[in-house]
Amino acid sequence: MNSAVKNVHELTRSEIKQIALEKIKQKIYGSPQKNLFAAEMIKEVEAAYETVVHEFVRNIIEIPRITIQPNTEIRSGFRDFDLDTKSLNYQPISEEILIRKLREQENSLEILNGIDKGRIIIDNPENLIVNELINYPEIDYDTQADLLFKLAQQAVGKFKTYLDDNMYMNVIQYHKKEIGKYIHSQLMQYFYYEAPGYEKPVVKPFTRIEEHNFSKYTKDSIHHFAETITPTSAIPGKVFSGFRKACHSLYKFDSKTEKDFASILEQDTSVLKWMRLAPNQFMVYWRHNSKQYIPDFVVETVDTIYMVETKKEGDIELTDIKEKAQAAFQYCKYATEYTTQNGGKPWKYVLIPHNVVMMNMGFRTLVMRHEYPVSEKDIREN
């Protein structure tokens, strides 16, 4: 039935109700042991349908079923540019010194004979320079040959402006490593590394809210969320209740910051519903699909649904946190594309530093200050 429903409010449509009732009838009448009270049971279901749907809608945040996973392809290389040759001013040396230098080098005989065995044939100065460049691990000859030869030609062109044919070849043979290093230093200024993008997912309608497993905790070990816990390091070992807007009755928190943030959500009039995520609620993966991301909170207001993460201020710039944020941003992007076309609310990702979460703060203020992406760099990465 879920495939026929685009948003949770469509469950109240009469045709959806009929589909649900037909499935229930099929289950009852299809039972190997015919139920003598089947007709009465179906009537009870029909009578209770609206009540059950109303309660379901009241306690759910519409979370589309989306699997976010990065592509495995990583792209890197160098952007095109022209070599700055103003500092290429090497002078020729004597032929005797040059020959001695070449004989001391690896593969010297091949070089003197015009061949570097198994690599590039050294039959012109450009090949000699490119042969040095491909020794650098960042440089891939197969994909970057055109740029490498262009830069080598520009270097040779500079030498030709002040040396004759014999002398510029003398300079290149003797100083080839320094010339390669000179070009490489400029290449690295134009190096790019594109982290893997994300596969475009198939988006399906809302999924059920997954339950937390707190069965091992006794009633005596459960605390009201407004209760002060000391020391605060004991908070992760406690279970909390008393929530009015949460989608579950019991939650655990990893820190005082998360517990305080839950109190902010409970008090803020702009917040309709919120939840802490069970492990399998989101299928969001990062680090080459090796790790699953579980955000701290999902919060619903009148016009938006927010995925919220709270982190230590110093950790926000860490690579791991940025990778998670990019994966979460992709989820919100695709969720928004689906929900806004099907009567739902847009999704946004919020990354909040721990030190700004204070009990006198409003949720909307935190959102306005910390919605992700927060910079042009973040936008380019996504």
Does residue 102 surpass a pLDDT of 90?
Answer: no
Q: What pLDDT shows up at residue 35?
A: 60
Nearest CA to 235 out of 215, 257, 220 is that of 257
Pair of tokens at residue 352? 């909040």
- Does residue 266 fall inside a structural domain? yes
**What CA–CA distance (Å, rounded) separates 176 from 301?**
65
Cβ neighbors of 226 (< 8 A, separation 6 or more) are: 242, 263
SS3 25: helix
Residue 34 has pLDDT above 60, yes or no: no
Residue 378 has pLDDT above 50, yes or no: no
Q: Tokens 């003598």: give the residue.
A: 36
359 and 212 within one domain: yes
Structural domain includes residue 70: no
Max alpha carbon distance in the chain (Å)? 110
CB within 8 Å of 123: residues ≥ 6 apart: 114
CATH number of the domain where residue 252 is located: 3.40.1350
Q: Provide the mean pLDDT of the chain.
A: 80
- Regarding predicted confidence, which is higher, 241 or 96? 241
Tell me what percent of the residues of the chain surpass a pLDDT of 70. 73
Q: How confident is the model at residue 51 (pLDDT cuts 50, 70, 90)?
A: confident
The answer to whether residue 13 sits within a structural domain is: yes
Tell whether 353 is covered by a domain. Answer: yes
Q: Looking at the structure, do residues 97 and 171 belong to the same domain, yes or no? A: yes
The residue out of 145, 160, 194 marking a domain boundary is 194
- Answer whether residue 303 shows pLDDT above 80: yes
> What is the pLDDT at residue 117?
39
The span from the CA of 11 to the CA of 302, in Å, is: 20
The SS3 assignment for 350 reads strand
How many structural domains are present in the chain? Answer: 3
**382 vs 84, residue with greater confidence:** 84
| 24 falls within a domain | yes
Do 314 and 229 belong together in one domain? yes
DSSP letter for each residue of 127-170: HHHHHHHTTSTT--HHHHHHHHHHHHHHHHHHHHTTS-HHHHHH
pLDDT tens-place string over residues 168-210: 998 998 999 999 999 999 999 998 766 556 666 666 766 777 8
- The pLDDT of 332-354, averaged and rounded, is 91
Domain shared by 364 and 253, yes or no: yes
Residue 46 has pLDDT above 60, yes or no: yes
Which residue bears the tokens 């902010």? Answer: 264
Q: The domain containing residue 26 runs over which residues?
A: 2-58
The model's confidence at residue 228, banded by pLDDT at 50, 70 and 90, is: very high
Token pair belonging to 372 = 């992700």
> pLDDT over 90 for what percent of the chain?
40
At 7 the pLDDT is: 65
Q: For residue 377, what pLDDT is reported?
A: 47
- CA gyration radius, the chain: 33
Asked if residue 64 belongs to a domain, the reply is no
Residue 138's pLDDT is 81
* Domain stops at, among 194, 229, 248: 194
Residue 273 bridge partners (DSSP): 300
Mind giving me the DSSP string for 247-275?
SSS-B--SSHHHHHHHHHHHH-TTEEEEE
Contact 317, 325 (CB under 8 A): no
Q: Are 296 and 308 in contact (CB under 8 A)?
A: yes
183 and 321 belong to one structural domain:
no
> Which among 117-121, 284-288, 316-320, 338-342 has the top mean pLDDT?
338-342
* pTM, rounded to two decimals: 0.56
pLDDT per position as a tens digit, 124-179: 899 999 999 999 888 888 889 999 999 999 999 999 999 998 899 989 989 999 99
